[in-house]
Every structure is written in C-alpha cells, then in structure tokens.
Amino acid sequence: MKDSLLRLYIAGKSAISQRAEQNLDQLRHLIQPACRIEIIDVLVNPEVAERAGILATPTLSYEHPERPRRIIGDLGDTKRILEFLGLELKESNG
C-alpha cells in the first residue's frame, strides 16, 4: 500500500495558519502508519488551490485513494480529526 498523504493548505503567515501548522506537526507523530506531509501556501500557489478547489484555509486534505477527506479549521481537536480521517493512534504513544 502506498504512503498516504496529508496536505495542508494555509494562507501565508497568519496566526491561524501557523497554529494549524503546529497542530499538524504534533499530529503526525501520533498516527500510524506514517503519513507524508505537504504544506501549500495558497498565497504563493493560488493555481494549486484552484485545481484542488480550496475555499477555506486552513484546509487539511487527506489524499487517500479510496476515501479522500478534508478538514477545515485550525486542527486543534486531535481526537475528532483522527476519528474523521479514520486514522489510528500509535500504540506506543506516551
């Protein structure tokens, strides 16, 4: 199975964008199997946002071949995010 990809769309250095980046950084260490992370700044790459159909920022896009999902917001609520994406916490978490 290919690596899953979590792509985060942010808008420049706004407070909410930075918060989302930090929250995602914490999140990535909690999940298994490991996901690749990609960060797209819509202010720098609006054409990428156009192709992906991004309206809101931050948007976290879970690029899963069978069940792609998106979460809009600052990614503060780890539990709900993992539930929605169907990802599991690492056993050895601690």
33 near other proteins (CB under 8 A):
no
- Output phi, psi for 36, to 5 deg: -75, 150
Q: State yes or no: residue 65 binds other proteins (CB under 8 A).
A: no
Distance, in Å, from the CA atom of 62 to the CA atom of 14, rounded to the nearest integer, reads 22
Asked if 94 touches other proteins (CB under 8 A), the answer is no
- The answer to whether 66 contacts other proteins (rule: CB under 8 A) is no
CA distance 87 to 94: 17
Interface positions with other proteins (CB under 8 A): 9, 11-12, 14-16, 42-43, 46-47, 49-50, 53-59, 67-77, 80-81, 84
